[in-house]
Copies of this chain bind each other. A is one copy, B any other.
Amino acid sequence: MKKTLSPPRTAPLTAAATAILDVAEQLAQTRGYNGFSYADIAAQLGVTKASLHYHFPSKAELGRALIERYRGLFATALEAIDAHTLEPQEKLRQYVGLYESVLSNERMCLCGMLAAEHSTLPPPMQEELKLFFDANERWLTTVLDKGLRAGVLRFMEPAQERARVLIGTLEGAMLVARSYGNPQRFQRAAACVLADLGALHASRRRTKKA
């Protein structure tokens, strides 16, 4: 199975750089790119702001690296789903599971968050953001298309269009669920859309606790 995703075109991350990204990621996912500062990261790591600039010269570069890594992790997760020969319905459920695991940490999807701030982001971040959504769209389109052809999924639109709807729905459901502090809202919404696609059995859906 060929590697199709995320060539590491930047130098591999040092341990310090990774630690910085970890903290920055959590902050960006909860407060947004404009909602955290170098001071916040430095305080959590117990270092000074100046040392952060050694690893990431500017906040713009930090932000870009943030998305690049996130995108790579997501790509790896999608490859992992593809590694097993699963039915399209099951792949979709696992895809939704990726979102659920993000939300269960009381975080918003990094890229959904940054999409809201899109017009205030430095161009390199805007481009990384686009790459993330495009990669998701391609993967979902393939899965949906196979499911449709196999007769195990149902929808009327072109698979690509349906993929876009799905991404938007999951991001939006996350956004609202998090602002209510209620991950269950996301789970129910996800179950709804999976059911619409025929990816959930009716019996299975009602087993979600009300």
| A interface residues with partner B (beta carbon < 8 Å) | 30-32, 34-35, 108, 112-113, 115-120, 126, 129-130, 133, 156-157, 161-162, 164-165, 167-180, 185, 188-189, 192-193, 195-196, 202, 205
Contact = CB atoms under 8 A, between A and B. Distances in A.
Contact of A162 (B118, B156, B192): B192
Interface secondary structure of A, over-half rule = helix
Contacts of A31: 117, 119-120
Given A120-B32, A172-B175, A165 B192 contact: yes
A157 to B, nearest CB: 6
The 6 A-B pairs at the shortest CB distance, nearest first, are namely: A172-B172, A116-B116, A168-B173, A168-B172, A118-B179, A115-B179
Contact of A175 (B162, B171, B185, B189): B171
A188 B156 CA distance: 12
